[in-house]
């Protein structure tokens, strides 16, 4: 299995493919050439953790061979930043881990994940430099929801209900720097929801790759339970990490990097303009790369505690602290 020292040397590549460009390999290097055959990018496969291919391209057997040989996944995405296929290497045969996953039915780990998420949402709200009375009240409400989770003795649906109520309070006050109607996942009814979907998708794909290192069944969750073709475990572990995307988007709105003018509408849905893809990838991936060591250790710790059947309060906590400049929030 990959160690933290090995992971820190790895690269996450985002390759935007234009008309006529192609991917090839030379001496175990991934090479991107433009329509004239000129090398636009080159990286050694030994240092690749994941490759995101955005746009249209022709796949060769060489891509698949290198993916398996060097153990990196290839995530295929449309120009609209929607992933449609994940190809590549993952650990197979961790039977003991999967047995533990299938036998687990408690709510302890789910509660731990929600508490971690609430802690990070509270921290994000508290970083606003000029907090309004509404924001201060929201922080107090998050505290109340935190206590409710700590003292909860009901079923899973009730636990999810508490988390959902807290999320409404959080999003309303986190994006109080613009006129916004609230979080509506996958609806894309405004530019902020669309940007959140893009950022969460990038984070989701990277967490999926990390979970696959250890051989998890990513369809078997503890908070998000089994649902046809849903990668429930990834939906679980992403929850405490989402605020790094939320904070980056708020910061990017304030800096003028994220604007409604960068999107076009079609049947009431917002879509990022193709020529803006690289700009948005740049600022959305930045906090993920900045915290990639912490994210890796968070997933590694989750694996180790799960294998040891540790008490839920011994599972890792992803901390948000000290990663943003309050002046930009």
With a pLDDT cut of 70, the percent of the chain lying above it is 96
Evaluate if residue 92 carries a pLDDT over 80: no
Q: Model confidence at 315, in pLDDT bands (50, 70, 90)?
A: very high
> What DSSP designation does 10 have?
-
Looking at the structure, tell me whether residues 112 and 135 fall in a common domain. Answer: yes
Tell me: the pLDDT tens digits for 23-80? 888 888 888 887 788 888 889 999 999 999 888 776 677 778 888 888 889 898 887 7
Q: CA Rg, the chain, in Å?
A: 20
Q: Is the pLDDT of residue 156 over 90?
A: yes
Residues 178 and 321 reside in one and the same domain: yes
Q: How confident is the model at residue 16 (pLDDT cuts 50, 70, 90)?
A: confident
Residues 14 and 127 in one domain: no
Cβ contact 236:110 at 8 Å? yes
The count of structural domains within the chain is 2
- Tell me the backbone φ, ψ of residue 164, rounded to 5 degrees: -65, -40
Asked if pLDDT for residue 329 goes beyond 60, the answer is no
Burial (CB count within 10 angstroms: exposed 0-12, middle 13-18, buried 19+), residue 321 = exposed
CATH number of the domain within which 316 lies: 1.20.120.920
Answer with the one of 45, 65, 88 that is the final residue of a domain: 88
Residue 184 shares a structural domain with residue 276: yes
Residue 318 domain boundaries? 95-328
Question: How many CB atoms neighbour CB 216 within 10 A?
Answer: 25
Predicted local confidence at residue 323, as pLDDT: 43
Give the tens place of pLDDT for each residue, 211-249. Answer: 999 999 999 999 998 888 899 999 999 999 999 999 999
Per-residue confidence (pLDDT) for residue 89, from 0 to 100: 65
Tell whether 38 and 117 lie within a shared domain.
no
Residue 83, pLDDT score: 85
pLDDT at position 279 over 70: yes
> Distance (Å, rounded) from C-alpha 103 to C-alpha 156?
16
Same domain for 119 and 78?
no
- At 138 the three-state DSSP class reads helix
Strand order in the sheet with 11-16: 11-16, 48-54, 73-77, 83-88
- Alpha-helical (H) ranges within the chain are 4-8, 61-70, 95-103, 108-126, 133-150, 156-174, 191-214, 232-237, 243-254, 277-290, 292-307
Let me know if 11 is exposed, middle or buried by CB neighbors in 10 A (0-12, 13-18, 19+).
Answer: middle
Shared domain for 160 and 138, answered yes or no, is yes
Question: Are 129 and 156 part of one and the same domain?
Answer: yes
64-74 residues labelled b (16+ CB within 10 A) or e (exposed): eebbeebbbbb
Average pLDDT, the chain: 90
Residues 190 and 280 in one domain: yes
Residues 84 and 259: their CA atoms lie apart, in Å, by: 26
Q: How far apart are CA 184 and CA 308, in angstroms?
A: 37
pLDDT of 287-307, one tens digit each? 999 999 999 999 999 999 999
Residues 6+ apart with CB under 8 A from 227: none
User: At which of 88, 104, 130 does a domain end?
Assistant: 88
Q: What is the DSSP letter of 327?
A: G
Percent of the chain predicted with pLDDT > 90: 66
Same domain, 138 and 111: yes
77 and 178 co-located in one domain: no
Question: 217 and 171, same structural domain?
Answer: yes
Condensed to tens digits (0 to 9), the pLDDT of residues 171-201 reads: 999 999 998 888 998 888 999 999 999 999 9
Q: What is the largest CA-CA distance in the chain?
A: 65
19 pLDDT exceeds 70?
no
Q: Which of 88, 108, 143 is the last residue of a domain?
A: 88
Q: What is the pLDDT of residue 327?
A: 45
Domain of residue 22, CATH code:
3.100.10.20
Burial 264-280 (b: 16+ CB within 10 A, else e): eeeeeebbbeeeebeeb
């Amino acid at each position: 299995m990959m160690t933290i020292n090995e992971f820190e040397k790895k690269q996450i590549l985002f390759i935007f493919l234009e008309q006529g460009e192609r991917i090839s390999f030379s001496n175990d290097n991934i090479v991107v050439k433009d329509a004239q055959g000129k090398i636009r990018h080159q990286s050694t496969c030994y240092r690749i953790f994941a490759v995101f291919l955005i746009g249209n391209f022709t796949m060769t057997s060489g891509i698949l061979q290198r993916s398996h040989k060097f153990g990196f996944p290839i995530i295929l995405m449309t120009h609209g930043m929607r992933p449609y296929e994940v190809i590549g290497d993952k650990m197979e045969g961790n039977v003991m881990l999967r047995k533990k996953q299938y036998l687990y039915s408690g709510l302890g780990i789910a509660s731990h994940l929600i508490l971690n998420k609430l802690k990070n949402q509270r921290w994000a709200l508290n970083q606003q430099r000029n907090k309004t009375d509404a924001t201060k009240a929201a922080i107090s409400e998050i505290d109340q929801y935190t206590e409710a989770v700590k003292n909860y003795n009901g079923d899973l649906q009730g636990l999810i209900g508490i988390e959902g109520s807290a999320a409404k309070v959080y999003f309303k006050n986190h994006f109080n720097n613009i006129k916004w109607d609230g979080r509506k996942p996958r609806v894309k009814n405004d530019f902020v929801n669309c940007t959140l979907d893009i950022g969460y998708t990038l984070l989701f794909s990277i967490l999926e790759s990390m979970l696959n290192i250890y051989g998890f069944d990513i369809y078997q969750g503890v908070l998000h339970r089994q649902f046809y073709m849903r990668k429930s475990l990834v939906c679980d572990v992403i929850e405490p990490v989402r605020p790094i995307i939320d904070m980056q988007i708020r910061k990017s709105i304030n800096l003028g990097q994220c604007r409604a003018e960068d999107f076009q509408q079609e049947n009431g849905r917002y879509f990022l303009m193709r020529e803006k893809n690289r700009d948005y990838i740049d600022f959305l991936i930045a906090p993920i790369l900045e915290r990639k060591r912490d994210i890796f250790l968070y997933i590694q710790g989750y694996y180790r505690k799960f294998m040891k059947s540790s008490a839920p309060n011994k599972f890792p906590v992803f901390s948000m602290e000290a990663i943003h400049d309050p002046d930009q929030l």
